[in-house]
Amino acid sequence: MPKNFSVKCDNVEIVKHAAQPANINQAYKFCPLCTGKFITRDVLGDEYTRLVCPDCSYIYYSNPHPTVIAIIEKKDQLLLVKRKNDPHAGFWDLPGGFVESGQNLETALAAELEEEIGVGIKSSQYFASFVSKYPTQHMKRSIVGIAFKVEVASENFQAKSDVTAVKYFPKNDLPKIAPLQDVQLAIKKLLKEDGLN
């Protein structure tokens, strides 16, 4: 089993834990194929403990869910959205969301920006990725948040679907950000690169 480790990118700490799923027993109790009760066991040739169905041999791989994060800047300001729904309703956040089946990262990013703030993308550039957990009603989901620096096609922002407000904030005076590790690490890395952290 891997030990805890730390990865640094431009002197910003990115990962604080091993890739092993946290509390694998928290995930699922029963096999989705035959409804047999899962057991935990080491799988030959695999470095992690997995949920395995003893009845049909199905192995549950706790792979992370990809998310996209938009970093939209205007001079020394950063665009934030206020979350409408839990988790963390009322907190400020970067625009973004989960990648849906059939989407690549770019189409997911475009869909999230249209859905949340009503604008298209003029250009986007990969910024960084961050391993994190996302709290849901029943468990914390492992995610990989992929952040992009985005130039929007217009600034006719509208608070839509999952947000109640859209606003630029000075980077040196940001409001309280939702306690989502991938978003906080993306902002931390951005501010450090701008010499503000």
Amino acid of residue 137: Q
Q: In angstroms, rounded to a whole number, what is the distance separating the alpha carbons of residues 15 and 36? A: 35
Could you tell me if residue 2 is inside a domain? no
pTM of the model as a whole:
0.82
49 and 75 housed in the same domain: no
Cα Rg, the chain, nearest whole Å: 19
Reading the chain (197 residues) residue by residue, the pLDDT tens digits are: 333 333 344 433 333 333 444 455 556 899 999 999 999 988 877 788 889 999 999 999 888 999 999 999 999 999 999 999 999 999 999 999 999 999 999 999 999 999 999 999 999 999 999 999 988 877 788 899 999 999 999 999 999 989 999 999 999 999 999 999 999 999 999 999 999 87
26 and 70 housed in the same domain: no
pLDDT recorded at residue 15: 37
77 and 166 housed in the same domain: yes
Residues 127, 95 contacting (CB under 8 angstroms): no
Could you tell me if residue 24 is inside a domain? yes
91 and 178 housed in the same domain: yes
Q: Which residue segment(s) compose the domain that 29 sits in?
A: 7-60
Q: How many CA atoms lie within 13 A of 30 on its CB side?
A: 5
pLDDT recorded at residue 23: 52
- Token pair for 66: 């990809």
Cα 31-21-13 angle, rounded to 5 deg: 160
Task: Report the Cα 194 to chain-centroid distance in Å.
Answer: 22
181 and 153 housed in the same domain: yes
77 and 173 housed in the same domain: yes
What is the signed CA dihedral for 31, 104, 98, 63, rounded to 10 degrees? Answer: 40
> How many domains is the chain built from?
2
Residues 24, 40 contacting (CB under 8 angstroms): yes
pLDDT recorded at residue 25: 52
Could you tell me if residue 118 is inside a domain? yes
Could you tell me if residue 44 is inside a domain? yes
103 and 184 housed in the same domain: yes
70 and 121 housed in the same domain: yes
Could you tell me if residue 1 is inside a domain? no
CATH number of residue 132's parent domain: 3.90.79.10
192 phi, psi to nearest 5 deg:
-65, -45
Q: Give the residue carrying structure tokens 């169905």.
A: 53
